[in-house]
Amino acid sequence: MPPFLYLGGGLHKYAFKDVLLIKRDAGGKLSLATSVPEATGPYQFCAYPLAMVDPRSYYTVLNPDTRSDYLVINSEKNIDIYNVSQSKMARSVPRKDGNTTINIFPAKEGYVMVYEYNKKEKTTRLSIEAL
């Protein structure tokens, strides 16, 4: 192959699709627990490591009161909160709603911090909400 093909981003394309949850048993074997449906991202060339180009960020929130585990998936268009204990989507929040941009960050156990920025009024609102 000519070297300019490798320098231009490689020969293959990929796209991010569903999120797969994997569990490990007591013996150390991995198995597929479930998959979380997500929108397919744009196709990109394989020139960079996946951690540098993944448009989503992931973190977990544990709620000790209800004994529930949540997976928060920040994607480009939506913020999805998936209840791992019940294997269902708990909530989906649009990232942009008119003039308001919303971000969700982890806070203390069982809570998330919601950051809302209103571009028209130039105001910021922070709140801590329970899951």
pLDDT tens by residue, 80-90: 899 888 888 88
Most confident of 11-15, 60-64, 124-128: 124-128
If you average pLDDT over residues 89-106, what whole number do you get?
89
Q: Is the pLDDT of residue 6 over 60?
A: no
Question: Looking at residue 3, what is its pLDDT?
Answer: 60
The pLDDT score that the predictor gives to residue 121 is 92
| Range of the structural domain that residue 50 is part of | 3-130
Residue 58 pLDDT level (bands cut at 50, 70, 90): confident
Residue 21 to residues 45, 57, 86, 99, 107, Cα–Cα distance (Å): 25, 15, 13, 34, 22
The number of folded domains in the chain is 1
- Least trusted range by pLDDT, from 31-40, 76-85, 100-109, 118-127: 31-40
Query: Residue 76: what pLDDT?
Result: 81
User: pLDDT over 90 for what percent of the chain?
Assistant: 16
Confidence (pLDDT) at 32: 83
* Structure confidence at residue 41 (pLDDT): 72
